[in-house]
Structures are given as structure tokens and as C-alpha cells.
Homo-oligomer: A and B are copies of this chain.
Amino acid sequence: MRARKKLNIGLVGYGFMGRTHSNAFRKVNNFFDVAFEPVLKCVCARDGAKADAFAKQWGYESSETDWRRLIARKDIDLIDIASPNDTHADIAIAAAKAGKMILCEKPLARNAYQAEKMVSAVKKAGVANMVWYNYRRVPAVTLARQLIGEGRLGRIFHYRAKFLQDWTISKDLPQGGAGLWRLDVKVAGSGVTGDLLAHCIDTAMWLNGPIDKVTAMTETFIKQRKHTLTGKVQKVGIDDASAFLARFSNGSLATFESTRYARGHKALYTFEINGEHASIFWDLHDLHRLQYFDHRDEGKVRGWRSLHITDGDHPYMKNWWVPGLQIGYEHTFIHQVADFLEGLDTGKMPRPDFRDGLATDYVTDAVLASAKSGRWVTVKKPK
């Protein structure tokens, strides 16, 4: 086991993502032999009582109610941004200026305009940075990337992804406020496009390269909802559903879709990629499996293989239990922390970094623009 240097964490936000990140920081050293030890130094939230309760539950040493104060602290090495989308840019830019490492929840920002500034800031400051597109580090997804990287699929013809949920179908669900800011366009920036499609796009570009152009359609099924903060019935500004056709730079075709109105699906993120020789399918509801079809298998015994991703030769899995015993959702965050800490040691920083996050924001911006114009839109690419 390697000796470990302390890495002091300052977390902003105490919601769902605050929990997944804290759990990752706490567990990483039990399972991964890395050269750094995250120390839960401080959690920051506007509501001091909530910050304290969270600190107690997770073992943070202290709390703050102003992220500027957090960033100003000398004893903090890394700012982890787990607060709503509209706060990402300001916090990240300030943290970069202060020379802190930054981990930022996805999407990187409310739009590419903000994200560009964030990329500039970290570039200028030269600080380590990463975006929490955690699904890259589901072992099955990482394996998909390996298989593609080894050229097993040959020329790629098709990519298709969708992310289906059903939690906002009720007309009585309000918008805005704690737990519901994802329905408030001012905070979220967009609806499913930035929340769900962003995940699909990040994975897709990681596996299949850049997207050149898109044509899209969005819809808001419930036009008005009561706003939790104002108490008034207000127009809903987010997209409830978003779908687009795309062409990748490598010539392959794609369909993408996401919605919160697909009854029966809680978090059904799926993707499939079809190549000349082989195809891959994955689905978040059974995240510990990967479906793989290889046309080079002998004809009469050729079929889709259901890989149970729990073996020691599967990505990350030798660090966990024994073959046959599955891990779950939370482990993707632990893997990201492990890779980040390893990168700090080797100097070779893992992806997705802020620049990758910006690339995804360019696509979601193009999707929203196309949905408005009804035209194909060319996707901008990060410099």
C-alpha cells in the first residue's frame, strides 16, 4: 500500500450529488491504492443548519455558508461543485483564480457561453479540473470504450442513445425550490437536454468521437406549473422531452432522445453502437451488464453475449468483491475520484475535463437552437 498525501476537500452543495461525492471521497482509499487521501474538510451551503447536519452525517470537519469564504480558505485544496447549474460558472471561475483544483457537477454550465469562460479560467490558472460525467466509469461502459478502442467494431455505422424517466408526469408537481430546481429554467438552463441528454452526449463523444450536426425537436407537455418559491402558477421554461438526429464526424448516424414522460422508466439510460464487425448495448437499469455481439463468432453459435461485468479483468472490478457480485450506481463516483487521485500522482489527468464538458454544452446548445429553428445546426467544437 502506498503512502498517502492529504487532499483537503471543500464541497459546495449538500443535495443528491453532495452525497454521491462525499461517499466517493470517504470510500476511495478502502478500495483503491492511490497516493492521496481525500480529507472531508468543509461543506458549504447557504443554510447553515443544513450544512452542519450534513457535515455531521458525512464527517466533514467544518462548514461554511458562503462559497467565497470557502474558496478563500488556505486549508482547502480542491473545490467540489455539487450545487445547482446556475452556480457552477461563478464558483469555478473564482476557485480557479484562487488556484484550487476543481471537480464540477454536470452539465458544466447553463450554456456554452458560461462554459467557455470556465474553460478559460482553469486553463489560465493551470489547475486540475474534471466534470462529474460519472457514467463513463460504470465498468461496463469503460469496457465498451476499451473494446471500441481495440478496433473490434470496425467502421461505425450507428449510434443510438436515450435517457427515459417518468417522474414529472403529474400536473401537480411544482417547479423550482429544493429538489425541484431541475424544472426551473433559470436555475437549470434547460430541461432534459442539459440534465439527461448531456450524459448521453458525453458518453457518445467519448466512445464515437465528435458530433458534426444535429436536427432536434423539444416539447414541454405541461405548460404551467406552480413555482415553489413564488407560490404562483408560472409558465414552464424547460423542455420536458428532447430528441435529435445527428451525424458524427466519423460518418456514423445517430438518434438521441430523452424525456421525463416515459411511463415505466425511472432512469433508463441506454446506448447502442453498431459497427461493421460488432455491436455493443448498455443500459443503466442493469448497469452491471454489457451486451456484446461479435459477427466474427462462428455462425451457428453467434448471438448477443450478456457480459456480467464482475470479473477481475473487467475495468475497476478487481478492486471490489469476487466474480458474480455486482456493484451499483455510487461506485462510478468512487472510480472517478480514484482516477483523479491517480492523475494527480502521475501528472496525466483523466477526462472528462472542463474542455470536454464544454464540448457537450456546444452540442446541447445546438440541440436547443435546432429545436427552435427547425433546421440542422452545425455543432461548434472547443479550440
Interface residue from B143, B157, B164 paired with A262 (Cβ < 8 Å): B157
Query: What is the 8 Å Cβ interface bit string for chain A, positions 231-269, against chain B (1 contact, 0 not)?
Result: 000000000010111010000010101010111111110
| A247, B217: Cβ atoms closer than 8 Å | yes
A326 neighbours in B (Cβ, 8 Å): 285-288, 326, 328-329
| B253, A293: Cβ atoms closer than 8 Å | no
Interface presence of A181 (CB below 8 A):
no
Task: Give the complex CA separation of A304 and B164 in angstroms.
Answer: 14
| B245, A243: Cβ atoms closer than 8 Å | yes
CB distance from A243 to the nearest CB of B (A): 5
Interface presence of A75 (CB below 8 A):
no
Interface-located stretch among A5-13, A51-59, A77-85, A358-366: A51-59
Interface residue from B26, B167, B307 paired with A26 (Cβ < 8 Å): B26
Interface presence of A149 (CB below 8 A):
no
With both beta carbons as reference points, the residue of chain B lying nearest to A153 in the complex is identified as B263
Query: What is the 8 Å Cβ interface bit string for chain A, positions 18-56, against chain B (1 contact, 0 not)?
Result: 011011001101100000000000000000000001001
| A311, B299: Cβ atoms closer than 8 Å | yes
| A263, B278: Cβ atoms closer than 8 Å | yes
A30 neighbours in B (Cβ, 8 Å): 19, 22-23, 26, 57-59
| Contacts A57-B30, A264-B295; A300 near B324 (Cβ below 8 A) | no
Interface residue from B241, B244, B324, B329 paired with A267 (Cβ < 8 Å): B324
| A147, B57: Cβ atoms closer than 8 Å | no
| A305, B307: Cβ atoms closer than 8 Å | no
Interface presence of A306 (CB below 8 A):
yes
| B263, A277: Cβ atoms closer than 8 Å | yes
| A217, B266: Cβ atoms closer than 8 Å | no
Interface presence of A215 (CB below 8 A):
yes
Interface presence of A61 (CB below 8 A):
no
CB distance from A250 to the nearest CB of B (A): 12
A186 neighbours in B (Cβ, 8 Å): none
Interface presence of A345 (CB below 8 A):
no
Q: Give the top 5 A-B pairs by smallest Cβ distance, nearest first.
A: A267-B324, A266-B324, A264-B293, A303-B305, A325-B329
Known: A29-B57, A30-B59, A262-B274. 17 other contacts (CB 8 A): A26-B26, A153-B263, A158-B241, A160-B257, A217-B253, A219-B253, A243-B253, A263-B276, A264-B295, A266-B310, A266-B324, A267-B325, A288-B328, A292-B303, A301-B305, A302-B305, A327-B329
